[in-house]
Structure 1
């Protein structure tokens, strides 16, 4: 039986895709990278992060600096973001069942707390954990498991990207992949997640069968 639920933040709990495209394009104009056009979005959703980076011509060595700059710009716009419709209800119902979930994200803790507070969702989460490894999320998940003293089978991850699936599979942690986030359903399915859900209602039903 699952005792711990780890949620990803951007794309899973919060609809931030449009903002991140806007912020990327601002930095792309500054650094002369390829811009993201509306007609590019469907294709980019079907590519892994490394494939997107290659297609957009972003030098890999510059990614850490761009991530830091992006988080700062994100903070300036955070009050324009909205929780994915239905996800506040999912978290509230899990909390009502005595299940206090946690968030593990490559976004900053301050950004996450600001949005949770503005949506009155802070009390529903046990911890907010900022992942330090953009391409190695399994390191952060392993650290959380060690801190909690739990085994892979006693926790489950909820995320929207192929890299989430790959990170969980390295550790044997079950994962629920949600299709409304950054990666396309086809890309998610290519990673063979344990569960795939197409709506917050379906997610809640799945999680309640596991806890």
Structure 2
């Protein structure tokens, strides 16, 4: 997309640095005008959809979700990705029907609004939810609302960046995630 939209191209050696920056810092570093972000999100979702058949669930996560489900824990997905992409990913990975619902958060920097909306729809409070996220902005959104958050290190954001957000819990593997969640539910 950088070539098409004339932004700084990302090289392999840039990835470690970019993973350690917040989204706002990444956008600044790459010279992306804020007004272009919505168009880039749409283009990014399309690239994701074009490559979705090559994407797989993190090893061990199917088992974590199955174990929690068997214990009566209801899980939903809240993502900035489109609902259609998420459903296709789940279908390709034989995980249809595992989640209570799929929610697409429309705002890149306003995920807390989506979380608040979910709490209202479910008639629940922040203390009765647990959010599992892999981005600094997930942590920031949860902190605004008092929702406990478990940060996982296998997403795009670097562990050091996640720790900067001071998550309530921090895990490196799906097994650690399962143990942490089992102590909380």
Superposition TM-score, scaled by structure 1 size: 0.86
- 2:3 is aligned to 29
Partner residue in 1 for 2:101: 127
Matches within 5 A, 1:73-92: 73-92=47-66
Which residue does 1:12 correspond to in 2? none
Structure 1 residue aligned with 2:171, among 172, 177, 197?
197
The number of equivalent residue pairs is: 185
Query: Does 2:71 match 1:93?
Result: no
Q: Indicate the residue corresponding to 1:152 in structure 2.
A: 126
State the 4+ residue runs in structure 1 displaced beyond 6 angstroms.
none
User: Please, which runs of 5 or more residues in structure 2 have no aligned partner?
Assistant: none
Larger RCO of the pair (alpha carbons < 8 Å, separation 6+): 1
Which of 29, 35, 38 lines up with 1:55 in the alignment?
29
Report the Cα distance in structure 1 between the residues aligned to 2:58 and 2:140, rounded to whole angstroms: 24
Instruction: State the TM-score, normalizing by the size of structure 2.
Output: 0.98
- Equivalent residues in 2 for 1:9-24, closer than 5 Å: none
CA RMSD of aligned residues (A): 0.8
Alpha-carbon separation, structure 2, partners of 1:30 and 1:98: 47
Supply the distance in 1 between the matched residues of 2:156 and 2:45 (Cα, whole angstroms): 17
Task: Give the SS at the match of 1:83.
Answer: coil
d(CA) in 2 for partners of 1:44, 1:76 = 23
Aligned equivalent of 1:70, options 19, 44, 47: 44
| Map of 2:157 onto structure 1 | 183
d(CA) in 1 for partners of 2:50 and 2:154?
24
Distance (whole Å) between structure 1 residues aligned to residue 151 and residue 121 of structure 2? 24
